[in-house]
Amino acid sequence: MDPLVKLAKDAIETYVKTGKIIEPPEDIPEEWKIRAGAFVSIKKNRQLRGCIGTIYPTTENLVHEVIRNAIAAATEDPRFLPVTEDELSELTYSVDVLSSPEKVRDLNELDPRKYGIIVSKGMRKGVLLPDLEGVNTVAEQLSIALMKAGIREDEDFEVYKFTVKRLR
């Protein structure tokens, strides 16, 4: 298991069991000192159980971003009830570290295997990570992201793309 994924797992298990937020490790590797958006995904029996993240960094470094988003994925994803202590042994985790989003000028730039997307209109935003099971075309990716944002396909909206480093 990648050390950043283990950090997410430890953050979730500690919070679910005790209600306490773990302290970051003392010796933070250089690559964790960056500021970056990150998503933490939780699966149970290969099905999504929670996923929360940030497009842009909101904390001082990647370690804090992962701890915060891991706890939120376990307790605040509106699609699911909070994770319980009884199910912790059945969960698997991944962490996606995002690149800075780039504005898309032509939909031909997109590839749902390589790029995640952000659709945006005013305050409404929808995000979809890349390389998701069952999302094989740009049209499917856009449709899902627009639905998440509450944006109709006939509205004017902006599209941004990003890559991720997926850690398991």
Q: How many CA within 13 A on the CB side of residue 67?
A: 17
Tokens, residue 88 = 């912790």
The per-residue DSSP string of the chain comes to --HHHHHHHHHHHHHHHHSPPPPPPSS--GGGSS---EEEEEEETTEEEEEEE-SS--SSSHHHHHHHHHHHHHHT-TTSPPP-GGGGGGEEEEEEEEPPPEE-SSGGG--TTT-EEEEEETTEEEEE-SS-TT--SHHHHHHHHHHHHT--TTS--EEEEE-EEEE-
CATH code of the domain occupying 3-98: 3.30.700.20
Q: What is the pLDDT of residue 94?
A: 98
Span 39-56, pLDDT tens digits: 999 999 999 999 999 999
Q: What is the pLDDT of residue 24?
A: 94
Per-domain residue ranges of the chain:
3-98, 102-167
Q: What is the pLDDT of residue 64?
A: 98
Q: Which fold has domain 102-167?
A: Dna Ligase; domain 1 (3.30.1490)
Span 27-41, pLDDT tens digits: 999 999 999 999 999
62-72: b or e for each residue (b if 16 or more CB lie within 10 Å)? bbbbbbbbbbb
Span 87-121, pLDDT tens digits: 999 999 999 999 999 999 999 999 999 999 999 99
pLDDT band at 63 (very low <50, low <70, confident <90, very high): very high
Q: Measured between alpha carbons, how far is 161 from 129 in angstroms, rounded to an integer?
A: 10
